[in-house]
A = this chain, B = another copy of it.
Amino acid sequence: MPETARHDVFQAIADPTRRKLLQLLSEKEMPIGALAAHFPISRTAVAKHLAILSDASLISGKKTGREKIYVLHPEPLREVKEWLDYYERFWDNKLSMLKHLVESGEEQSLKETETRKKPNH
């Protein structure tokens, strides 16, 4: 695994082993050994999957002593979510409008809460 090419988040989550790694790291940060114990493949193979996830900025590792603890970084998944939002309208005719309102309201609130706390009715 040359690790030269930049890895895409869509490609990173395409592999079931990598999805399970993300799930494990979402429960608790762990070193590679603890992660590898959950799989039938070798620790080296897990290390390569971690490298791909790291390349997609989905995880990072901090070395403490002789261990390297891996931590989840879910932010890049937002790109996938935004891609999906476009298609959601095609399968969901019911509440898509409400949900889009909620989500656009959320973005608004993220910007607004710094400057304003009360509604401006």
Looking at the complex, which one of B8, B20, B77, B99 makes contact with A103 (CB distance below 8 Å)?
B99
0/1 interface trace, chain A 59-90, chain B, CB 8 Å (1 if under)? 00000000000001011011011011011101
Segment of A33-41, A42-50, A105-113 in the binding face:
A105-113
Q: Would you call the interface of chain A mostly helix, strand, loop, or mixed?
A: helix
In the bound complex, how far is the Cα of B103 from the Cα of A81, in angstroms? 14
Looking at the complex, which one of B88, B95, B103 makes contact with A109 (CB distance below 8 Å)?
B95
How far in angstroms is the closest Cβ of chain B from A75? 5
How far in angstroms is the closest Cβ of chain B from A107? 10
In the bound complex, how far is the Cα of B85 from the Cα of A84, in angstroms? 11
Q: Is the CB of B84 within 8 A of A95?
A: no
Contact A87-B22, Cβ < 8 Å, known A95-B106, A105-B95, A106-B95: yes
Looking at the complex, which one of B16, B20, B84, B99 makes contact with A84 (CB distance below 8 Å)?
B84
Does A28 count as interface, using CB distance less than 8 angstroms? no
